[in-house]
Structures are given as structure tokens and as C-alpha cells.
Structure 1
Amino acid sequence: MTRKQARELVMKILYEMEIKDEFSTSILEAYSSYKDDSEYSYISSSILSVIKNITFIDELITKNLKGWDKLRISKVDLSILRNSINEIFFMDDIPTSVSINEAVDLAKKYSYEDSYRFVNGLLGTIVKEKSDDF
């Protein structure tokens, strides 16, 4: 499995968690068949990090929505955003540009026609704010 495929799986796991409204390790355990994969470390650390930081991530999303409510964001887009924001803030070994580009690609593949623009714009705003804070 490539890193791109691993990101896609992380998005799918986060989507499942969102649908079930259950952000716990039990859902990750259901994907134990991937444990022998070279990217499983990325997958598990991403999921565990999102679970740990979900409040921060969701507050960041909500704070940067202009004229929107978080409830209006599709669950797919929300899952994509959560993983990308997690990578940007908590995974120093992943360049921000890579995380944003991969999020845009996932939105193009799995979401509505223009969702990639929303994902790109929101992530751009968040990254700008992050760089302004430092």
C-alpha cells in the first residue's frame, strides 16, 4: 500500500467513525488485517492522533468557517479535513503542501464536484492562520 492509499484508508476509517459517532480505537481494531502493511504505522498513528485531538481539530474547523456551520460540511469532507489538519499540526514529518494536495485529491475523488475548492480554501486559511501565529 502506498502512502496515498493509506491516507485514503484513514479517511474511510474517520468517515466510519463519524457515521457511527464513535471515535474510539475499537473501529481501528476492525482494520487489523492491515497490520502487516508497511503503512500501518501511519494509519494507526493518524487515527489515534485524530481521536486524541478531535476537539482541537473540530474547533479549528468551526472557527475558520465563514458563514457556515460545521453541520453543513459533508461527512466525507469532514473526514478529509480532520486527517489533513491532523497531519499539518501533529505530524511534523509530512510537508503541509503534501497534506493539502492529498486532501484536495481525496475530495475530487470522493466528494461533490466543487468540494475540493472548499477543502483547499479552508485548509489554506488554517495554514495561513497557523503561520501567522508563529
Structure 2
Amino acid sequence: MAEAPQSLQAVIEQLNAADKKHLSLKDKRARTVARLVLVQALYQMELAGTGVESVIREFSDFRFDGDIEGETLGAADEAFFAEGLRSVVKEQTEIDGLISEHLASNWRLERVDTTVRAILRAGTWELKFRTDIGKEVVINEYVEITKAFFGDHEAPFVNGALDAIAKVVRT
């Protein structure tokens, strides 16, 4: 039986307890919030077909420092969020190709849950295009975000996929 999903607040606290070099505690928290919001924005864009710039404006105007799933999460690293969203959209063909290469042979990316797909896209973007961030940090953050949404059920899948992708893009 799967564990109940953790609250997003609990995930943020757990991730921020880890030692992440070069960022203050405030900046670590803002980066974690940006990752959570990036996943939410990618999910929203896929379902609603909304354009990247309008989503960035919406989140900037109405959602940052606001609430996700009834929880106030605090400030987000808005520049990181915007960079991520723009880059995932711009590089989506390459990102989706990397993800697809690391799915089981009988799975297509379209069969993956929409939220998991958003998590994998965001994680793959960081692994491929933000090499200044340690791969362990990237994988851990997105695995913990997965746990927040799904408990432990989907976390091994996300961990395995991102680890395999990291081995290809971070040689």
C-alpha cells in the first residue's frame, strides 16, 4: 500500500535540510518553490495549451508568494522558474527524446501520467541544460516532488529515469 503523499510544505523543509552548496537557506527554499511551480506550470500548459509567456506572467502576477494546494510556500526564484519554463518549451523535442529513450520498451511518453511527465521534463531540463547544479540535487529534488504528489508509488520510476538520463547527459 502506498504512503499518503507528503504535503508540499514538508517536501520543501526536507529538501532544504539537505546540504546544497552555494545557496543561502532563503535561496534554496526559493529554488525548491520554483521547481514545484515549474512542474505545476508545465502541467497547466499541457492541459490548457497556454503559451509560455502568458503562463510566466500569470505565475508572476498571481501565484508567487501565493498558495499551492492550500499551502503558502513563500517566495520562488522567479528567474529560475522563467528560464526553466522557456527552456523546456524551446528544447521539448530533445528533452522528450531523452525521456523516451529511458522508458521501458513498451511505454510511450504519452502514456506517462501528465504530472509525472511534467516532473521528468523539468528534471531532464536541469540535468541537460543546468550543469552548474549537481545531478544528485536535481534528481533528489524531483524525486521528492514526485513523492509530494504520489507518495512513494511513482518515485522509483522518476528516480530511475532521471538517473539514466543523467548518465547520458552528464558524462
TM-score (norm: length of structure 1): 0.87
What amino acid maps onto 1:52 in structure 2? K
2:45 is aligned to: 17
- Aligned with 1:27 (options 37, 55, 61): 55
TM-score (norm: length of structure 2): 0.70
Q: Conserved in 2, the CA contact under 8 Å of 1:23 and 1:51? A: no
Bigger mean CA offset, 78-87 vs 12-21: 12-21
Pair 88,23 (structure 1): closer, same or farther in 2 beyond 3 Å: farther
Once the two structures are TM-superposed, the CA of residue 24 in structure 1 deviates from its matched residue by 2.7
Q: Take 1:83 and 1:103, find their aligned partners in 2: how far apart are those partners?
A: 8
Q: Take 2:128 and 2:157, find their aligned partners in 1: how far apart are those partners?
A: 19
Pair 115,23 (structure 1): closer, same or farther in 2 beyond 3 Å: farther
SS at match of 1:93: coil
Aligned pairs for 1:1-134 within 5 A = 2-33=30-61, 34=64, 39-66=77-104, 67-111=106-150, 113-131=152-170, 134=171
Q: Take 2:40 and 2:76, find their aligned partners in 1: how far apart are those partners?
A: 18
Q: Take 1:51 and 1:23, find their aligned partners in 2: how far apart are those partners?
A: 9
Report the identity percentage.
31
Q: Conserved in 2, the CA contact under 8 Å of 1:76 and 1:111? A: no
Unaligned runs of 5+ in 2: 1-28, 66-74
Q: Take 2:119 and 2:96, find their aligned partners in 1: how far apart are those partners?
A: 12
Q: Take 1:127 and 1:78, find their aligned partners in 2: how far apart are those partners?
A: 16
The number of equivalent residue pairs is 131
The structure number with the bigger radius of gyration is 2
